[in-house]
Structure 1
Amino acid sequence: MNPPEREALASTRPAADATLVSRSREVDDVSFRAFLAARDAPRVHWASPGGLELVGGGAAARIAATGRDRFDALRADAATVFERVDHDGPHETRPRMLGGLSFDADHEPAGTWRGFPAASFVLPAVQLTRTDAGTWLTVSRYDEGTATDSVGTVESALDDAETALDSLPMMRPSGGRPGVTGTRWRPPKAEWTAQVEDVIERIRDGGLLKVVLASALDVELADDVDIPDVLERLRRTYPECYRFLVQPAGGDAFFGPPPERLVKLDGREVRTEALAGSMPRGDTPEEDADHARSLLESEKIGHEQGLVADTIIEQLEAFGTVREGERGVRKLTNIQHLETPIEADLDGDEHVLTLVEALHPTPAMGGLPLQDALATIRETESFDRGWYASPVGWFDGDGDGEFAVGIRSGVAGGSRATLFAGNGIVADSDPDDEWDELQPKVRPIMDELESESGAGSND
């Protein structure tokens, strides 16, 4: 990390004598896309299949961390921010930190991931919250001094934000897709399949059971990408998925429609899932059912999925009583996965970041045994995963929160994008089949970048 980036990281430390003041009011439904487009960075967006949607711009407070103690640093700084809170509004609008972390604790913010430290969260200065109960506008400030000093400023800012909101169109016209002029896989197919062959040999030699290898697809665009437009199109195409956006500064944004929850904590109730193994959707109901049946009956996929579920259960048993649900098939727009729901009742109070730390990365993102698999990934992969396959989500002052796994994701800005995909490699994997399985995993975002006439060249 160079000196300016270290200085920027240090500037995110919260002040010990500051007060967080937050005011909310209910508003008529509004275009979240128009709101996001009108806001300056940092910008964040979170939407869960359960109905909660958050979108924010600007920063009332930021926290960031790097290195292997990043979770400790995040919890400590978050506790400082939430130490003194004056919040006037319904529980749905309570102050939340939104953001995520990198796959590796030693991640450096460079190249594709410039501006993305090993961990970064923001409490938005202006935020919209939508649930089944309504839509609210919230303004927050985190300033030194007492709440009394800030209340008037915050209430005035809320008035201004509502005026600005009223000027936004209810339905912001969607722009066209930027169009793709060229693509390039990193690494290219020959190199990636050679990596897979090497990993298969290591697994067959003993010690390793599974290693998840990833790849990156660099995309050249005909026009600049409009991230709010892409998110809106993803909402329509993948309503059953999470959606997220993290744009720490004015540069590139990390976003996507991941299908997989990492963990949700509400009080002492935990929900998570094991999601592993994939099949395409069928062109007919009969073909679709055949693919789903293949998922359920495949010994290879069932074994792989069972390893993921067993590991998650073992990790959560350190915190309380765990219950494993019935294995089934999770159907998405263009792919289907084998899924096992998992719940837990905690023995005591915990912060959701503590559970994130315990669960990340899951075997579905790293492999088994985890530490050996991660070492193999570092030795094998020829690009920086950055925040790909990492926790993205939110938490509040009580330590409750929800995180998804940042897959089906990409980084984009201007006329370029980088999309990511990965596959779990086991002893009987076929390198060519594994390569073919990568392709549909970049389609969710790729489909929203390509013009109606189709894609550009593919190296």
Structure 2
Amino acid sequence: MESPPRDGQVSAEPTGSALVSRACELSDCDPRPFLAGRDAPRTYWTSPYGPEFAGGGTAARVTASGTDRFEEVREDADDLFAELDYNGPDRARPRLFGGFSFHEDHDPSPPWQGFGAAEFVLPRTQLTRANGETWLTVSDRDTTPEAVERELAEVRETLTDAPEGTNSDPPGVVAAEPTTTREEWAAQVSAAVSRIEAGDLRKVTLAQALAVELADEVSVPAALARLGESYPDCFRFCFEPTTEGAFFGATPERLATLRGRTVETDALAGSVGRGDTPEEDAELEASIENSEKMAHEHGLVVETIRDQLSPVSGEVRVADRRVRKLATIQHLWTPIEADLTDSDHVLSIVEALHPTPAVGGLPPAKALTTIRETETFDRGWYAAPVGWFDAEGDGTFAVGIRSAVTDGDSATLFAGNGIVGDSDPDEEYEEVQLKYRPILDELER
């Protein structure tokens, strides 16, 4: 579950930089036309455990870079929320949406123009759907409550009059070009295995990128809706900082949820495809459950998450390992919970866990060096934390996998796989191709 309701008013004496937010309830509103009618930046978030959000425009923006980017975002957000004047239910409270780059020294360049090392937006207009209710929130700075209330009424009227959203067909794929050939991939995996056998690494996750030319411009709201039909139990997200590109996806991997002092996270590592028949699917499930290689890879992730949470928690609870089935793939999955010894901020947990061994490796520093030396493309925000947090420091972040960054009629897709000592390059290559399918399927006609 995400943060429970804490209905009430949070307010501060208005100043020249006060953040003023007001909310009202709506009849149900489709996020697709809502997003289509908003100016960039645009944001979208939903999870299997909590509300659906859509946002547009900017009431406030928080950015940072370098080694202290997590702390800088937290400090600037604390300053912003300290001046919050909000009147509305807890479920519709203003939030900061955004994320981080995978590498701390990220330098935005195509296709990642506009995506900084840390970038968060508090939307000017925020749509919230939860527990059968729909709420509209309008926020602004350097203004009065009366002005925000007038804007709230104006936006509400436009949404009331807006037509229902319609389905948009996939844009169609004209061509797809991998950044790494099969032969190059085999060499990369073999080199990583050699480092592991030499004792320099225990595991490293290597990734590929797929440059896709589209027949038409992609409608990201429509793609997210289609992903919701195929992957309802995944975290679906979109962050579009400017009009030049949007990062979106449907990821099965939660990085962290903080609710009060309770942390929830997932260990997700080891994967195989789905079968065409129930019998074939069961055979594949058995193969992943009985694979020593995948059990080893998964165990490293569980062990590391437990070690990362132990210093800040009184108890870490590791559930039984199970298989999580998605539309085109199934994973080994272990839910993990912890109770913090003191109050904290979700960004502190996110910083402690990123990158997990599922997307980085072990030891972390050597794995990151190997990734830098091996991969021939810029990860940008791929496999990095994306999500939201509020004035209390509660929030949810997912790992930005099963994702793509798109700009008009082009898109770049990303997928990766964990490499351990007995990894086979051909098997790893085929497994990576499975991980393109969630996004590629929604782009193809």
Tell me the TM-score normalised to structure 1 length: 0.92
Shift of 1:133: 4.4
Alpha-carbon displacement from aligned partner over 1:7-31 (angstroms, at most 9, x marks no partner): xxxxxxxx99511111111100011
Tell whether the 8 Å contact from 1:82 to 1:397 is kept in structure 2 after alignment: yes
The residue number in structure 2 matching 1:108 is: 107
The residue number in structure 1 matching 2:444 is: 450
Alpha-carbon displacement from aligned partner over 1:326-358 (angstroms, at most 9, x marks no partner): 110111111000011100000001100000000
Q: In the alignment, which of 428, 432, 437 is matched to residue 434 of structure 1?
A: 428
Shift of 1:167: 2.1
Looking at structure 2, the residues matched to 81 and 33 of structure 1 have their Cα atoms a distance apart, in angstroms, of 29
Q: What residue ranges of structure 1 are gaps of 5+ in the alignment?
A: 1-14, 144-148, 452-459
Looking at structure 1, the residues matched to 50 and 260 of structure 2 have their Cα atoms a distance apart, in angstroms, of 19
Looking at structure 2, the residues matched to 428 and 292 of structure 1 have their Cα atoms a distance apart, in angstroms, of 20
Shift of 1:436: 0.8
Alpha-carbon displacement from aligned partner over 1:70-107 (angstroms, at most 9, x marks no partner): 01110110011001211111110111100000000000
The residue number in structure 1 matching 2:85 is: 86
Looking at structure 2, the residues matched to 227 and 212 of structure 1 have their Cα atoms a distance apart, in angstroms, of 28
Looking at structure 2, the residues matched to 167 and 133 of structure 1 have their Cα atoms a distance apart, in angstroms, of 21
The residue number in structure 2 matching 1:258 is: 251
Tell whether the 8 Å contact from 1:185 to 1:215 is kept in structure 2 after alignment: yes
Looking at structure 2, the residues matched to 51 and 37 of structure 1 have their Cα atoms a distance apart, in angstroms, of 23
Does residue 227 (structure 1) correspond to residue 257 (structure 2)? The answer is: no
Q: In the alignment, which of 181, 184, 192 is matched to residue 174 of structure 2?
A: 181
* 1:153-232 → structure 2 map (5 Å cutoff): 153-170=147-164, 172-232=165-225
Alpha-carbon displacement from aligned partner over 1:131-173 (angstroms, at most 9, x marks no partner): 1141101101122xxxxx5101100000111011012222x22
The residue number in structure 1 matching 2:7 is: none
Looking at structure 1, the residues matched to 21 and 422 of structure 2 have their Cα atoms a distance apart, in angstroms, of 55
Tell whether the 8 Å contact from 2:416 to 2:432 is kept in structure 1 after alignment: yes
Q: Secondary structure at the match of 1:82?
A: helix
Alpha-carbon displacement from aligned partner over 1:170-229 (angstroms, at most 9, x marks no partner): 2x2212211111111012222122111111111111121111001100000111111111
Looking at structure 1, the residues matched to 254 and 281 of structure 2 have their Cα atoms a distance apart, in angstroms, of 24
Q: Secondary structure at the match of 2:225?
A: helix
Residue identity over aligned pairs, in percent, reads: 56
Looking at structure 2, the residues matched to 52 and 74 of structure 1 have their Cα atoms a distance apart, in angstroms, of 23
Looking at structure 2, the residues matched to 278 and 110 of structure 1 have their Cα atoms a distance apart, in angstroms, of 31
Looking at structure 2, the residues matched to 65 and 354 of structure 1 have their Cα atoms a distance apart, in angstroms, of 15
Tell whether the 8 Å contact from 1:16 to 1:80 is kept in structure 2 after alignment: no
Looking at structure 2, the residues matched to 151 and 17 of structure 1 have their Cα atoms a distance apart, in angstroms, of 12
Letter in 1 for 2:367: A
Looking at structure 2, the residues matched to 54 and 247 of structure 1 have their Cα atoms a distance apart, in angstroms, of 14
The residue number in structure 2 matching 1:32 is: 31
Q: Secondary structure at the match of 1:29?
A: coil
Does residue 316 (structure 1) correspond to residue 316 (structure 2)? The answer is: no
The residue number in structure 2 matching 1:344 is: 338
Q: Secondary structure at the match of 2:82?
A: coil
Letter in 2 for 1:399: G
Q: Secondary structure at the match of 2:242?
A: coil
Q: Secondary structure at the match of 2:105?
A: coil
Letter in 2 for 1:242: F
Looking at structure 2, the residues matched to 433 and 302 of structure 1 have their Cα atoms a distance apart, in angstroms, of 16
Q: Secondary structure at the match of 1:86?
A: strand
The residue number in structure 1 matching 2:10 is: none
Shift of 1:51: 3.4
Tell whether the 8 Å contact from 1:178 to 1:450 is kept in structure 2 after alignment: yes
Q: In the alignment, which of 272, 281, 302 is matched to residue 288 of structure 1?
A: 281
Letter in 2 for 1:117: G
Tell whether the 8 Å contact from 2:15 to 2:83 is kept in structure 1 after alignment: no
Q: Secondary structure at the match of 2:251?
A: coil
Letter in 1 for 2:27: D
Looking at structure 1, the residues matched to 166 and 23 of structure 2 have their Cα atoms a distance apart, in angstroms, of 28
* 1:120-159 → structure 2 map (5 Å cutoff): 120-143=119-142, 150-159=144-153
The residue number in structure 2 matching 1:405 is: 399
Tell whether the 8 Å contact from 2:94 to 2:126 is kept in structure 1 after alignment: no
Shift of 1:284: 1.4
Tell whether the 8 Å contact from 1:31 to 1:169 is kept in structure 2 after alignment: no
Tell whether the 8 Å contact from 2:179 to 2:211 is kept in structure 1 after alignment: yes
Q: Secondary structure at the match of 1:317?
A: helix
Does residue 63 (structure 1) correspond to residue 68 (structure 2)? The answer is: no
Structure 2 CA distance for partners of 1:382 and 1:125, relative to 1, 3 Å: same
Looking at structure 2, the residues matched to 200 and 353 of structure 1 have their Cα atoms a distance apart, in angstroms, of 33
Tell me the TM-score normalised to structure 2 length: 0.95
Moved more, 339-348 or 132-141: 132-141
Looking at structure 2, the residues matched to 444 and 50 of structure 1 have their Cα atoms a distance apart, in angstroms, of 20
Q: Secondary structure at the match of 1:139?
A: strand
Q: Secondary structure at the match of 2:311?
A: coil
Q: In the alignment, which of 223, 233, 237 is matched to residue 240 of structure 1?
A: 233
